[in-house]
Amino acid sequence: MRMFVHRPVLMANLAGILVGFGMFANFLGVSYLVQMPEALTGNGFDASILRASVQFLLPGAIVSLLASPMGGQLVRHRGPRAALALAAGSAPSASAGSPSTTATPSR
């Protein structure tokens, strides 16, 4: 148990928890947002489950799949702090492409 309070292990675990929570909230939030009927809420995309997953969730999953080897290379060559700083710095630009800022509701 003493290993978990060792600073590098603790920080890695906290970062993993925060990233996992962020990914869960992103997938759940995007899924609910795009499936919400526009007539009911005034915002929403009236998307089916298939459209929500293919059009809005699949691109992010593919980008994550393709970017993960680059993240491993970055950690190997620059260290985990540089990779975490780059990921934290790119999060605002990644959210600029979210459905709430780019897509228009279907009519």
pLDDT of 96 over the 80 cut: no
Tally of CA atoms within 13 A in the half-sphere of 46 that contains its CB? 9
Cα of 91 vs its chain's centroid, Å: 8
Check: CB of residue 4 under 8 Å from CB of residue 10: yes
Over residues 25-75, the pLDDT tens digits come to 988 998 998 999 888 878 888 899 999 999 989 998 898 899 899 999 999
pLDDT of 93 over the 80 cut: no
Report d(CA 82, CA 84) in Å as an integer: 5
As a whole number, the mean pLDDT across the chain is 84
Q: What is the pLDDT of residue 72?
A: 92
∠ CA(88), CA(93), CA(98), 5° rounding? 115
What's the rounded mean pLDDT across residues 65-92? 87
What is the pLDDT confidence band of residue 101, given thresholds at 50, 70 and 90?
low
Check: CB of residue 99 under 8 Å from CB of residue 45: yes
What is the pLDDT confidence band of residue 85, given thresholds at 50, 70 and 90?
confident
pLDDT of 102 over the 80 cut: no
